[in-house]
A and B are shown apart, each in its own frame.
Chain A
Amino acid sequence: MLEGKQGSGARKAMEILLAYGNCYDAHRMIPVTSVHMAGNFPVLMDEGIEWLEDLARDGTKVAVFTTKNPEMYDFEQAEELRIPTIYQVRQKRIHEALKALGLTLTYSCHHYLVGNVPRFGDHIAWASSGSQVFANSVIGARSNRDGDHVALAAAITGVIPEWGMHLNENRRASMLIDVARLPIETYGPAEYKALGWHLGKLVGTCIPAVANLPKDMHIEGIKGLLYTLTVTGATGLVHLVGITPEASTLEAVFGGVHPASPDIMPSQKDVDKAFLEISSSSEDKVDMVLFGCPQCSIQEVQEIAALLEGKKLHPDTQLWICTSRWVKTLCERMGLLEIVRASGARVVCDMGAADGPHLYLREQGVRVIAINSARGSYYAHNLFGMDTWFGSTEDCIRSAVSGRWEGRK
C-alpha cells in the first residue's frame, strides 16, 4: 500500500496509520471490523471537503463497513426549512465524495441502532467521542479517541495500530466513583446528564468505575451519563459496574484488587449545581426546542409524542425532533408523525441537535434554545453562540407550549 500500488488514497491512509502507530509505540496493526465517521460541513469546512474529494479521486474505497454521522439539515425538507444554497451545494459535494468512497450513508449518530453493531471484544474505529465511549462501555468493543482521519484510514486499509483501548492492560479502571449517596433510583435521563457533567470534570482522561448504579438502569439513562461525561471530560471508557461487559464486579476492573475506598462520592448538591451550570441563557423567552443529541431513539420519540398529544406549541416557538430516517419511517407507520405535526412540531432527520443547524437557524432569528441534552447545550453555546436552557424532556415541552422557559434556573 505504501508503494502506491493500491492507489494514492490507500497510500495516504497507510502513511497516516504508520505515523499514528509510531507515536504510540504500537507493535503491530490489527484488523478492524467496524468504522464510523463523524465530521460534517461546520467542522470540515471547504478544505475538509477537498481533502475527502482528493481521497476519493483515484477510486479509493473503504474495505470495512463504515457508517456516517448526521449532517446539518434534513435533505428531504431542505426547501421547506429554507436551507441556504451555500450549505446545500457543499452538502451535495460531501455526499458525493462519501458515496464514491463507499461509506454506508446512514447520517445517524445512533448508528448502533441502525445496523453498525460490533461484538464484544471487536476492534473498531469510531470517531465522535460519544459513540466511542458507548462502544467501549456498553458493547465492550474497543475503540480509541481516533478522529475521522484515522477512522477513514482504518476503513480503507482494514487495519488500525494496536495501542491504548485495544489492549487489555489499558482498559483497567484507575478511579472509583460511588453513587451511593445519591437518590439514584429516582433519576431520569436529565439527572444522569447532570451527574455526567459533574463527573466529567473530575475524571479528565482517567478510566473511572461507577459503582452502585441501579441494575435495571435504562439505556436512555446510560446514554445520558456517558455522552455527557465525554463533554466535560476526555475519557474513552467508563466501567458501569454490573452493566459494562468487562465490569461484572469491582475486582474485575481493578485488576483483581478491591479498592479500599471510593475516590469520589458525589452528593445531590453537586448534581443540582451541575444541572444549573449546563444552561447558558438568562432570558426567559424560548425561540426553539431541539431534541436529539444524540438523535432520538424510537422510544424517545414515543415519549415526546405522548407528551405533545393534544397540545399546541406557542406561535413564536418551534420544536424539532432530530432523528434518523429509519426512526422517522417508524414514526410515520405508528401514527406518531401525525401527533407531532398536529402540535405544530416537526420531525427532522439526517441531522442531530448539535450538528450545526444553528448556522441557518440563527440567520432565521433563533437565539434561545431549550434542549434536553447537556451535550447539545454545550455545543450550541460554545461552538455556535446560542443561548441555551437545559432541562428534562417534560420541561422542554412545557416551555414549547408556553413560549417561556419552564424548567430549573
Chain B
Amino acid sequence: MGGKEMMRLKAKPVMKGVAEGKAIVSRMPISFTGGMDPDTGNIREPGHDLEGQCVAGKILVFPTGKGSTTGSWQYYAAFKRGNAPKGIINVSAEGVVTVSAIITSTPMVHELEKDPLACIETGDYVRIDADNGIVEIEKTDR
C-alpha cells in the first residue's frame, strides 16, 4: 500500500456549496429525462457507459447534459426521493443540468483547469468546494 495521491484543481462554480464522496465517472452526456430513473438513481439509457449503475449519493462526473429540457423535473424528483448525486462535476455545464443543481442546491462545478474525465476515476474520493472553486481528488489505491 503506497501513500494516497492527492490532486487539487481549480474549477468554475455553477452552484455553490460543499460536497464530498465517491466519484462515479461517465464519458457520455447524460439526459435526466428517460436517462436516469428517479426511483433508484440508476442510469437507464440503453448503451450508456453507466447503464444500470447508481449515481445516488455520489459525486457524478460527466462531460455535459443532453436530451429533453424537462430533465430538471426528473432530477428534482430523484433528489426528493434521496436518489440524486451529492455533487456534480461537468466538463462544460449545459442548461438542464445547471438548473437541476440550482433548484436542489447541489454543489456543482465545471471548466476545471484539467480535464476531469482524465483526472478522476470511478471510486476516487472527491471533494467539491464550489464556494471557493476547488476540487480535491484523493486517488484510490489500485
Residues of A within 8 A of B (CB): 15-16, 19-20, 22-23, 38-39, 43-48, 51, 127-129, 132, 144-150, 234, 379, 382-383
Contacts and interface: CB of A to CB of B under 8 A. Distances in A.
Contacts of A39: 70, 73
B19 interface: no
A147 B72 contact: yes
A43 B33 contact: yes
30 contacts: A15-B102, A16-B103, A20-B102, A22-B13, A23-B15, A23-B98, A38-B70, A39-B70, A43-B70, A45-B73, A45-B77, A47-B76, A47-B77, A47-B79, A47-B80, A51-B103, A127-B69, A129-B69, A144-B95, A146-B95, A147-B69, A147-B72, A148-B69, A148-B73, A149-B72, A149-B102, A150-B95, A234-B66, A382-B34, A383-B34
B71 A147 contact: yes
B14 A48 contact: no
B74 interface: yes
A16 B102 contact: yes
Nearest to B74: A43
A118 B90 CA distance: 33
A45 B14 CA distance: 26
B96 interface: yes
Contacts of B71: 147
Q: Give the 9 A-B CB pairs with smallest separation, nearest first.
A: A43-B70, A147-B69, A45-B77, A47-B80, A47-B77, A48-B73, A19-B102, A383-B34, A23-B14
A145 B33 contact: no
B75 to A, nearest CB: 10
B128 interface: no
Contacts of A148: 69-70, 72-73
Given A20-B98, A39-B70, 7 more contacts: A16-B103, A23-B12, A43-B70, A147-B70, A149-B72, A234-B67, A383-B34
Nearest to B35: A382
A51 to B, nearest CB: 6
Contacts of B70: 38-39, 43, 127-128, 147-148
Contacts of B114: none
Nearest to B15: A19
Interface in B3-41: 12-15, 33-34, 38
A23 B96 contact: no
B73 A128 contact: no
Of the listed residues B73, B79, B95, the one surrounded by the most CB atoms of chain A closer than 10 A to its CB is: B73
A149 B74 contact: no
Interface string B37-77: 01000000000000000000000000000111111111011
Q: Which of B34, B80, B102 has the most CB of A within 10 A?
A: B102
Contacts of B76: 47-48, 51
Interface in B74-89: 74, 76-77, 79-81
B73 A146 contact: no
B34 to A, nearest CB: 5
Contacts of B94: 145, 234
Nearest to B65: A234
B135 interface: no
Contacts of A127: 69-70
B96 to A, nearest CB: 5
B99 to A, nearest CB: 5
Contacts of B12: 23
B93 interface: yes
